[in-house]
Amino acid sequence: MPLSGEAIRTMNYVDDISVTLRRILTVLPSLTEEERQRIAEYIRVSEPNYETVLNSLAAK
């Protein structure tokens, strides 16, 4: 069954998220421990976050 245009666009968004996460991983070694902790907390409390989206996909 072929995918709809909306599904393909959504998969492209996931690709964009992956690129952003790779960029974040590249920068992390140059940050101080305090900066890394602040960024970790910032990601944890961001909404919606990756886990929220995955839970939403699983629920439907």
Structure confidence by residue, pLDDT tens digits, 15-37: 999 999 999 999 999 999 999 99
Query: Which pLDDT value is given to residue 37?
Result: 98
Residue 3 pLDDT more than 80?
A: yes
Q: pLDDT class for 46, splitting at 50, 70, 90?
A: very high
pLDDT at 1: 86
Q: What average pLDDT does the structure give for the chain?
A: 95
Domain extents for the chain? 5-59
Q: CA torsion, points 34, 36, 43, 23, in degrees to nearest 10?
A: 150
Comparing CA positions, the residue from 16, 17, 8 lying closest to residue 51 is: 17
